[in-house]
Structure 1
């Protein structure tokens, strides 16, 4: 039986699924906050943000497509099966119940519900909201065959329609000159580098690795079985979906930059989004933002819990997809009630550690044909990336840990001996060196 030939409408539905899974909690608040931080340097900062928040996730999808991988495990397996399993667990723990998935509930609560709740009832309200939120996520996610219709055909188009209203108002009736705002200290001389690091907070590069299995499963359910055709469909739909995200990011960063003409620098993008929606639509803006945040975060939460359950069920088949889904939703509910600020604080050092390893793995996957998928190239590059990534993680630890004597000694060493450590890129020259050494060894070994 021949594979079904996908039409343009099919690619757009898959692209909508990809957009919906990616675009949620951090994707709304971090670009807006970046616009405020960068002020008049928002274009330079946006370029850095787009590199880490758009280009690298797209490369991750293309790497999965090029290597015909089923997801994170297959992509990392050339390093070693044990490393691939550990890396899969770390990525899914970060995207799943420890950080990203709970954040979808706390961000939507902070934007849509918290402003109307008295402080003394805030904890109770968050508990009730997050319980209902993850109950809805579980209900929509328990049947894998429904993900295309739930996200690709229903929730994401609704989300885009709501978002378009704010964008049109911001473009045709801007709050002021986007270049007039004063950049914060970090964005005066290093706007691009800080914009790049801000893109880590979206977790999209990690999400692209995790969502690979969900995208491939959805394509298979559309009637495509051939591995080559699945890879091609993944690449095409991924490109459409990620480019759509890029356009939304630029619009959000622009809104953040123009908001400085009306509002002071806020503590986070959630506050700024609330101010913007009220500025344009008054009380109706509050309702719109609540709907926008809830729908956007629901689609991302669904994508995250589904990818988690699919990957772990594949690796540990003795437990069912449904059992992993219940576990993730319940643990995410518990973590969500720790609050948004605490989740973000502890997620940053983990991202500073995982992102370099993810980026190097993505590049290795894309270039694997250059070295015949030689395991040694994978291993040397990964080892050279791992060490400075640990130092970057230590630097980003909360003060309660980063100010301890041992950590301070290690950070002083890194500051003195690791190039680019001060701007968060200590891993980059080491990763490049490891790749060059691995590639050189591969070429020499083939000649002898």
Structure 2
């Protein structure tokens, strides 16, 4: 009995570690904003959001377990060493110092500090807050061996208690019904697909792949030695952590939908969260929200900078782990001072390009035992998927780039010839075609050898 309890406790610690690494800035603001946009179509939108924001990260961990990979590089390796390295660098940069990591600092600042500063003080306030934020992140992250204890046993329980208080008040005294708010035009007929695309913004599927090396290292420190036991622990712990995130997503989307009775649709979910906290608990609620957001974003930032430093030190061992850690924290601090809105607007196009490729790698990894991990299937399927992914990226450009003649020519071409392009799913039929072609070629090669 004691051994069973010990095993369950270990899986809970792993699940808490994964939860703390994945649930951060985007996980707080995007579900709430989705609830506001979707209105009475929130259930359908939630389905799409959970598919890309919960199931895909879980599948990513499953792919790592099944292929016995240590992370994204090994998972992408069947496409070739050059592709694996370039893809690893692109993903690490977008979820690292150029997007997700700076966002972990700008989100809590935007929803908890900025409303109380004058316009003239915004720049100085952001500078001081992000500076202190990344100094603390570096202080904890440099103690690499303590990452499990810091995230899994200390910060997560505190965060969950705070979030539970807000949910409890919202469910006891809802701001309104979920059936009355009208959806915005894009959610009237395509709530599910738009919810799915919104899930990209959490970057959790990419993060789950990148965190693979950190998660594997932490699991081995807990006493799992064989590859099979590490894979099993990753899968079970991942299910606990990611399903917990799914429950919180539903609560946050519910908050966003019911808030429409009291507040207009905001530019981002951070503003709405600030309004909700003040609605229920006044100024104390805003202080609580700032503390909550800072804690959860800091746990994610720790996971991001540690995974970045571990991966790059492993690939480029001539540069020390601490050097990568310092460089990441410094660059993240500089990018964070560009502001939240600019970071989000410039990251969306890159996510529209990277996510379809990541989805293909995840699915191929899960089903790789069926075709013995044949690189031919990886290369053809990924290569064909890359074509519509590029056009999706162009369509998501900020106006300053999207409105150029070259971009508009490419967009008009894709609208005419690519199925599902307007929905952001043009990669899907291309992927199926690539998979079908590659499997046929691989199968014919296998038969010719018999």
1:98 alignment counterpart = 98
CA distance in 2, matches of 1:43, 1:160: 24
Which deviates more from structure 2 when the two are superposed, residues 256-265 or residues 240-249?
Answer: 256-265
1:317 alignment counterpart = 317
Matches within 5 A, 1:176-191: 176-191=176-191
Matches within 5 A, 1:375-394: 375-394=375-394
Matches within 5 A, 1:249-288: 249-288=249-288
2:142 alignment counterpart = 142
2:303 alignment counterpart = 303
Length-normalised TM-score, structure 2: 0.98
CA distance in 2, matches of 1:282, 1:36: 21
Residue 205 of structure 2 is aligned to residue 205 of structure 1 = yes
Shift of residue 6, structure 1, vs aligned partner: 6.3
1:50 alignment counterpart = 50
2:74 alignment counterpart = 74
Shift of residue 125, structure 1, vs aligned partner: 1.1
Matches within 5 A, 1:429-440: 429-440=429-440
CA distance in 2, matches of 1:42, 1:25: 21
Residue 266 of structure 1 aligns to a residue in which SS?
coil
CA distance in 2, matches of 1:368, 1:6: 33
Residue 98 of structure 1 aligns to a residue in which SS?
coil
**1:91-118 deviations in Å (ceiling 9; x for gaps):** 0000110000000000011111111111
CA distance in 2, matches of 1:437, 1:144: 45
Residue 445 of structure 2 is aligned to residue 445 of structure 1 = yes
Judge conservation of contact 1:29–1:269 (CA < 8 Å) in 2. yes
Judge conservation of contact 1:5–1:224 (CA < 8 Å) in 2. no
1:35 alignment counterpart = 35
CA distance in 2, matches of 1:259, 1:407: 37
CA distance in 1, matches of 2:396, 2:12: 39
Residue 176 of structure 1 aligns to a residue in which SS?
coil
- Consecutive unaligned residues in structure 2, runs of 5 or more: none
2:372 alignment counterpart = 372
**1:135-180 deviations in Å (ceiling 9; x for gaps):** 0000010011111111000011111110000011111211111111
Shift of residue 443, structure 1, vs aligned partner: 1.4
- Consecutive unaligned residues in structure 1, runs of 5 or more: none
Residue 63 of structure 2 is aligned to residue 63 of structure 1 = yes
Length-normalised TM-score, structure 1: 0.98
Residue 143 of structure 2 is aligned to residue 131 of structure 1 = no
**1:196-244 deviations in Å (ceiling 9; x for gaps):** 0000000111101111111101001112111111000000000000000
Shift of residue 370, structure 1, vs aligned partner: 1.0
Shift of residue 5, structure 1, vs aligned partner: 11
1:330 alignment counterpart = 330
Label 1:6 to 1:435 Cα distance change in 2 as closer, same or farther (>3 A). farther
Shift of residue 30, structure 1, vs aligned partner: 0.3
CA RMSD, 1 decimal = 1.1
2:9 alignment counterpart = 9
2:404 alignment counterpart = 404
**1:72-108 deviations in Å (ceiling 9; x for gaps):** 0000001101100000000000011000000000001
Report the number of matched residues: 445
Shift of residue 365, structure 1, vs aligned partner: 0.3
Residue 96 of structure 2 aligns to a residue in which SS?
helix
2:340 alignment counterpart = 340
**1:407-442 deviations in Å (ceiling 9; x for gaps):** 111111111000000111111100111111111211
2:119 alignment counterpart = 119
CA distance in 2, matches of 1:398, 1:175: 34
Residue 78 of structure 2 aligns to a residue in which SS?
coil
